[in-house]
Every structure is written in C-alpha cells, then in structure tokens.
Structure 1
C-alpha cells in the first residue's frame, strides 16, 4: 500500500479547469492519494453534461451538491436533486445532464485516481476552438489511462448523427 501525507485543500485555492460546458476543480488528484482515487467538484451549465459512455476500469460516484441532474445509469434514468448520490460502477453506461435553469454542481469520486489528466487534456483540446472528435477523446483517454472509455451516445441535447 502506498502511503501519502495528508492534505488540506481549500476549494477556492484550486484553479478551475474548463471543458465542454463544464468546469472542474481537482481537490484531490491521483498523486495525492497514491493513485487510489481522485476527488473533484464539477459545475455544469444548464443542459450540459457528457455523452453516454462506459469506463471499463474506473468507478465513479456522483453526489449532487447544488441544482438538479438527470443521471442515466445503465437502462435507467434517475432524478438527482441536491443531496442525492448515484454510483456508476465500471462497465455500466452512464451520463448526466444538468436539468436546472442555472449551473448545477457535483462532487465526484473516481477510482482509481488520475482521471484529472484526461480532463486537463480535454480542456487543452477545447482551447483550440473545435470540439474534439470521438477518436480524439479515445486517444486522450488512452494517454491518461482512463481504461476502456467508450462513447456510446451523443452529448445531451444532440441527436445521433449530428455534431454540437
């Protein structure tokens, strides 16, 4: 077992990272936890959220702290107001969408740790002004060891076969 020193983090001291209508603050990174998990806050704009996707090697827990989300987990859609937690185990298709009129916020625990590199890379791709293609996202996931990331549906609010 890897031992790491403790850490105290103040949310506002963590620089936000922006990607595809979302903003994340990585409060505990993989290197802070010996690779065990990452802990971060995600703020999602109204209607925003990731497309339906699968992680083959990562588990995620989503705890809503502000606003309201619709969270799809497998074949079921769940209403997720503030105070609700939804656990997305590896291998289960999932997505979330902010269904509030304003920004909504989640706390996310992802295991194993290290997913923050993927989002920082996605932010860099987005800075080029063109949404990354699914192959770009798969390559980025492989680079940061987000194992088996597979997009299986369009982003929220986008019909299959069209681009946002």
Structure 2
C-alpha cells in the first residue's frame, strides 16, 4: 500500500528539507526512509525515540553526532545506528549542507516531519506544541540542540 502522492511531497521545516522516499504504509509498517537536506549549523534538540531504531546514512556534508553522551563526526559515506531509547542529536558542521538518509524501524515517525512542515511550528516559540505532537510519535526531547551543549 502506498500513500497519497501529496503526502509524499517534500516538506521544509526550519530550513531542512524532508522527502519521504519509503513510507510506513509502503513497507507494511516495517520501516520508513526519509531523505533530508539540512543547512550548516542546524540540528534537533537532544531527544530519544522510544519505539524506533534510527540509522543515519551520510550522503554529503559533515555532521557531529552525540549518542548517549559520546561525540562522533560523520562524513559522506559513513553511517551511524541509534538504537531506540538512546539519547541523541546532531549538528551539521562546515559550510555545506548535509544530505542524509534517515531510516526508521519500524516506520511511522516520518509523519512528524510532515506535520511540522505543514504547520511550520518554530523552536523555541512553539516548543510546547512540538513536544505534545512529538509524544504522539513516541519521541521525547531531553535537552538542547548540540550547538547549545
């Protein structure tokens, strides 16, 4: 089963472009894959996915990741696996945007990107609403973005 083409259209939120290339529905719930392009110095607040493993595949650019307190720099061609329940974040470093794949198992979290892009909620102004919606996708924010750490 596939999603409506309109739901698969790329969305932009806080300067990052998200394109769902495999939806939860198309994989029977097993996984989702999102292609993302994030600008320099961008990245989410520290967070944890309670019900999904997350894999980042760096296509271009460079990003610094924090996974359970350990920092690691990733270049194009490198991958990092984030088991569910692990606190993590990242920040795009350098002058170039980061293009990467986000693979979630099981799928479903891609709906969060669609909602945020559709409604253009801002951080920190709309953090209460963002946190409420994130909980519906089994995500908790646990700290600041990496740039503030």
- Which TM-score band (shorter chain)? 0.7 to 0.9
Q: Distance in 2 between matches of 1:64 and 1:114?
A: 21
SS in 2 for 1:152: strand
Residue 17 (1) aligns with residue 11 (2): yes
1:123 aligned to 96, 117, 123, which one? Answer: 117
Residue 71 (1) aligns with residue 65 (2): yes
Q: Distance in 2 between matches of 1:63 and 1:48?
A: 17
How many aligned residue pairs are there? 143
> Paired residue for 1:11?
none
SS in 1 for 2:29: coil
Q: Distance in 1 between matches of 2:76 and 2:84?
A: 24
Please report the TM-score for the alignment, with normalisation by the length of structure 2: 0.87
SS in 2 for 1:31: coil
Deviation at 1:135, TM superposition (A): 2.5
2:147 aligned to 145, 157, 160, which one? Answer: 157
Residue 136 (1) aligns with residue 144 (2): no
- CA-to-aligned-CA distance 1:28-71 (integer Å, 9 cap, x gap): 00000001110111111000011110111111000101010101
User: For the aligned residues, what is the CA RMSD?
Assistant: 1.8
Q: Distance in 2 between matches of 1:71 and 1:21?
A: 19
SS in 2 for 1:41: strand
Q: Is the 8 A contact 1:122 1:140 kept in 2?
A: no
